[in-house]
Amino acid sequence: MAAAEHDKRVPAAARADALTRALEAIGAGAYIVDERGRIIAVNAHAQDLLARPAGELLGHDAHDLLHRDAHGRPLPATQCRMRQAFHARRVAQAEMDHFVRGDGSVLPISWTVAPYDIDGEASCTLVVFDPSARAQEAGSRPGAVDEPLSELERLALLAETTTRLTSTLDVEETLRRLVALVVPRLADWTVIDLITEHDEVWRKAVVHAEGDTLVYHEELQGPMPPIPKESPMPLSRALRGVASTLAGPQTYQREPDSGIAVEQRRLFDATGIRSAAITPIRSPREVLGALTLGRADHRTDFSPTDLPLIEDITRRAGLALDNARLYQRQRKVAETMQNHLLPQMPRVPGLEMTVRYLPAPDASQVGGDWYDAFPLSDGATALAIGDVVGHDLEAAAGMAQVRNMLRAYAWSQTKPPSRIIERLDEAIRHITDVTMATMILARLEEANGDHWKLSWSNAGHPPPLLISHDGLTEYLTDGHGILLGVEAGRRPDASTMLPPGSTLVLYTDGLIEEPGHTLDEGLQRLRRHAAALAHRPLASFTDQLLRRVRPAENDDDVALLALRAPAPA
């Protein structure tokens, strides 16, 4: 439906806005290029330095547009150090290079580039630059832990941290991205301790950088002793949110004052960490845990001047983790609520019936998809499937309201499905917060022995699919009217006889809608696989249909109700 398609376009725009906001926090010129080298975001400082508005930068190849030699002549791509780093997907920097400004003048610059992924989908590169006279002294190995980071590298790291950590709402993915940001760039080892919702400490990650490979040491991970209230030891203080501290093996050689101190001594002994910086991970509401960065393989120990940068990183990590936790908590509540609200199917002698509900994956929120089947007061059976527009707790709550009102109207009024939907439509527009919804209400009754009659009315929902025992398919497109929430007037009814052994499939749009593909393509995909599976037992038919038809990039939940008429004698 149009409203749903609009919802799916919002994240891309929101992502672009987030990239621009992140770049504005950088105190130097900065832009982001996509995997083809085209500029997709730029901050105001870069526009000022280049004397070019965003409109002259966005969408253009950065190398072709900007890179020049000292005399302003085009720089061959084979001679461009930034281009080489871009293709190699590595961090790099240069003290002296040249960009051409909008007025044709040549701007000497220093620059740093750093690769990162956006939403795990697109390989992009961050470019931070400044006039070369303002560049600080930096070594030939950008980001090596035995050399101090230049100011440009620090800004690039913080910008990358903000972008990468705020582009996911999954706790585990946030932790993986945090690890990849700090090792080996800042340390050889990283350790993440988190405080659970039950105030227990869990060592979530102990990771060592071996060259370009990150090795997780699961034998050092797991539950930790409780946080001591008065301990002056660095990790205990960090987990209480007191302060950031430097530590070494000698810190934990004294008589341990708590179980956490024993675990820290074990950590230093097992890893060979010689110097560590231990920093609280805080959200605006509470302390979430602690980050430990350790150096064992390099010359330079951590110093107090390193702590502000690490604190900036953990501050961003705390915000990202808090958002991810809140989101997953809301999602769990919504899924639990929705699963409890979805009903058990009634037993109808002579018919097989099965249902499935699959929540949206990953970061997508739970929605308002639902199914129902229940006996009517005259002995017939009602079938229903619907989708309340939205992807949040309100949509799930609206789904429950619509379903319960539908049951009440259908039971109390022995009228055609269209009349029940008309009454329901009028009610939800006046006594609920549901703005729009689609649904099918069907009435199933036995007729002439083993034959079954299906009558239905469709309010803006994808059409039911009827599959014969021999694999012939037909979409039931009759009885189609406008969606709920709009004054639709009289609604149509339709009816058909279910052939012996046939299968009827009611489903929500998450089964057939796929970004970049038309709705007709999704309907054809469903028709083709349903026909191929017609001979399967109903439970197997339903499971295989979901596995084969549901798009791999699905960002919506799916409800499905399948019914099979008695086979011919």
Contacts of 234 (CB under 8 A, 6+ apart): 245, 246, 247, 251, 276, 278
117-121, 318-322, 557-561: range with lowest mean pLDDT? 117-121
Give the pLDDT score at 511.
Answer: 94
Percent of the chain scored above 90 by pLDDT?
Answer: 49
What is the fold of 2-153? Beta-Lactamase (3.30.450)
Q: What is the mean pLDDT of residues 139-149?
A: 47
**CA 234 – CA 139 distance, rounded (Å):** 31
Q: Which residues belong to CATH 3.30.450.40 in the chain?
A: 171-332
Q: What is the pLDDT of residues 456-510, one digit of tens each?
A: 999 999 999 999 999 999 999 999 999 998 876 789 999 999 999 999 999 999 9
131-145, 303-317, 382-396: range with lowest mean pLDDT? 131-145
Q: Global pTM? A: 0.50
Handedness of CA 119, 125, 130, 134 (dihedral sign): positive
Give the pLDDT score at 178.
Answer: 95
**CA 367 – CA 500 distance, rounded (Å):** 35
**CA 457 – CA 493 distance, rounded (Å):** 5
In this predicted structure, the answer to whether residue 5 has a pLDDT above a threshold of 60 is no
**CA 422 – CA 177 distance, rounded (Å):** 51
CA count, 13 A, side-chain hemisphere, 67: 20
Q: Which top CATH class is 171-332?
A: alpha beta
Q: What is the pLDDT of residues 279-301, one digit of tens each?
A: 999 998 899 999 999 998 766 88
In this predicted structure, the answer to whether residue 4 has a pLDDT above a threshold of 50 is no
Q: Which residues belong to CATH 3.60.40.10 in the chain?
A: 342-564
Give the pLDDT score at 9.
Answer: 39
The neighbour count for residue 486, using CB atoms within 10 Å, is 14
Options 3.50.50.60, 3.40.50.410, 3.20.20.140, 3.60.40.10; CATH of 342-564: 3.60.40.10
Q: What is the pLDDT of residues 51-98, one digit of tens each?
A: 999 989 999 999 999 998 877 788 888 788 888 888 877 888 888 889
Q: What is the mean pLDDT of residues 420-436?
A: 87
Q: Which residues belong to CATH 3.30.450.20 in the chain?
A: 2-153
